[in-house]
Amino acid sequence: MNYKQTVTGMLAVLVLVMGACSPNARETRKEVMFDENNPFYTPSTLPFEAPDFDAISDEHYKPALLAGMEQEMGEIEEIAANPEPPTFENTIVAMERSGQLLDRVRRVFSNMNSAHTNETIQQIQSEMAPRFAEHSDNIRLNADLFERVRTLYDRKDELDLTEAEEKLLRDNYRSFVRSGALLGLMEQERIREINAELSSLSTEFQQKLLEMTRERAVIIDDESELEGLSRDRIAAAKEAAEDRGHEGKYLLSITNTTRVPVLTSLKNRDVRRRVWEASAHRGIGEDGSIDTRPIVLRLAELRAERAQLLGYENFATFALEPQTAENPDNVIDMLTDLIPAVKANTGREAEMIRQKMLEDGIDDQVRPWDWEYYAERVRESEYDIDDAEIRPYFELDRVLKDGVFYAMNRLYGITFEERFDLPVYHDDVRVFDVFDHDGEQLGLFYADYFARDSKRGGAWMSSYVGQSHLLDKKPVVVNVLNIAKPAEGEPALITFDNVTTLFHEMGHGVHGLFSDVKYPSQAMTAVPRDFVEFPSTFEEDWAIHPEVLANYAIHYETGERIPQDLLDRIIAARAFNQGFETQEYVAATMIDKEWHLLTPDEIPDDVMEFENFALAKYNLDYEPVPPRYKSPYFAHIFSGGYSANYYAYIWSEILAADAFAYMKERGGLTRENGDHYRETILSRGGSREAMDLYMDFRGEEPGVDALLRRRGLTAN
């Protein structure tokens, strides 16, 4: 029996003994009892170790998480106390092998906490968050372990390491240092306190966002107020209201961004205002509602303090050090260079919208709840585009199979075959086998596309099993979206934004599925934050490739392919409203930057006042185009891992646009192009420096011209 098995097997016995000696024995045993009856006790026997959701219950998570941390600490302490001199194998590789139980349960638990949570899971997350932080600190602040890593790092030129191994050693050393390994004991203790509080606050922020989705939903009394919405959307709104106990009424849900999809269609201006305000005023404690502003201020303060303890001027400088952008100045320079062109476009768009409002007899300035509705009217008149005409051609299942899967097959030769024998955590979840061009199975792909109250907003890719040759594991990945679920019996007709998001998340998906590396910490999407969105954004443009679009854009009733004329108009119309799209994003990015450029003594008293200051500083305080996220509900930076890194989307888009233009020059949608991209980018994970990977693919550094063309912006 190996060490891991010994520790795992002894845990239940140890807990029983400890519990018997405690005045709270029953509570202690309940908290940490972990034995073979827990489905996480051993790896799943399902294909590729996919989670057995039929066997997993909420009560299994906490004891498995505790046992996983206990087991990993035992493994880490054994590595740190090894009397043999440190080697790459007995230190770095041993660390890569450690923590498999914790990884197994934490992947499932984290995914459930995001995609299908409940009060029990949220309570566990709240309780475990500071323990996770403490566990991480116990590893990264282990002096004996760090000494072994530092010894190897200092001797790296003598070790005859591969490029991937040298990078793994370098990344480990940097991670220890950035965690505080070089600090004194008092400073390390303060780092521990900060990390615990940050973890708890981020969890609280995330949970409040989910609560706000329900709290801010808009109830409509009369169907006549929904003029402009399609029949299927009205039916879905009625069903959603009934599910909440509002018989005979209609419920309009609030999504994660400031803008809400229904704003493009609602003709009633007052209803649009109500929906927009419900979204934009989230988290400010309006009329006794949820208030996240104290969390925002405390998170900013703690991050700033930790950065200074670690020797950095501010958190933004700390956060960008390992990114391809390297420092905040590079990001700010890039974004401020874009702002004049963006604002010029926004001004032209605003004038066109204002004219459409006048045609409707509205002699008023453009309001934020007007923009999207009249942007659609401009599209209709300028490009002869009507959302009601387009949506019947975008039925979800056809878009997925004949669009996304088709493009992946044309580029990479892979195929997706749906299977129905594996357990899932919700009836809406689907599972697909993914086969390579030679018939070998790459892994499993889970698809969870419909919105529900138990799911946080947004869209993301995650994994249940990570790829690793060292551990002999293949990937099990999941894409999660928040598409409005149709009423019972109605087709799932989606917007073109939904279509683009499907392609985007599949970009992350194949980044995980094609991973072909040895070490687990370098696998899949383990790349810098401002590089990880490159593969996903790159796949977006295949959604409008004429061959791909013609293959999936088929009328759900008639079976007719989308007319070439309509297809051409859809593609042409993409250029409109890019000023708005870019400005709302850049505004949110600058808010992120300004929060994280603060020092501890510069933290403001008023969240919204500071946000307004940040927007004005960059000449982005334009009422009709609010930031994509406002601070009180900015999940990316206050609970989602993008703090000081929200710029990553547009930074990555520079790479994506440049890469797509390069592929078009080489023949476009071909296996040769796809295989080259897969080999140089998608399969390598974090085994090489990110920009070295790009240079392998492209042969030269990216330029911004392709981005400007992609967004319809002028280069001046």
Catalytic hit among 372, 505, 533, 611 = 505
- 169 sits in which H/E element: helix 163-179
Q: Residue 41 gets which letter from DSSP?
A: S
84 catalytic? Reply is no
How would you classify the pairing of strands 476-483 and 441-450? parallel
Hey, what's the torsion of the CAs at 362, 368, 369, 373, to 10 degrees?
Answer: 80
Could you give the CA distance from residue 254 to residue 217 in angstroms, rounded to a whole number? 6
Q: Residues, the chain, total?
A: 716
- Residues in CB range of 433: below 8 A, 6 or more apart: 416, 417, 418, 419, 441, 444, 445
Q: Residue 543 gets which letter from DSSP?
A: G
Extract long-range pairs of 556-563: CB within 8 Å, 24+ residues apart.
Answer: 556/392, 556/393, 556/395, 556/398, 556/491, 556/493, 557/392, 562/393
How would you classify the pairing of strands 218-220 and 476-483? unpaired
- 441 sits in which H/E element: strand 441-450
Decide: 445 and 419 in contact? Cβ < 8 Å.
no
CB neighbour class for 560 (10 Å; exposed up to 12, middle 13-18, buried from 19):
exposed
Could you give the CA distance from residue 342 to residue 127 in angstroms, rounded to a whole number? 44
- State how far Cα 187 lies from the chain centre: 32
- In the chain, % helix, strand, coil (3-state, to 5) comes to 60, 5, 35
Amino acid at 646: Y
- H runs (alpha helix) in 541-647: 546-552, 564-573, 578-596, 607-617, 635-638
How would you classify the pairing of strands 441-450 and 415-419? unpaired
Could you give the CA distance from residue 647 to residue 322 in angstroms, rounded to a whole number? 14
List the catalytic residues: 505
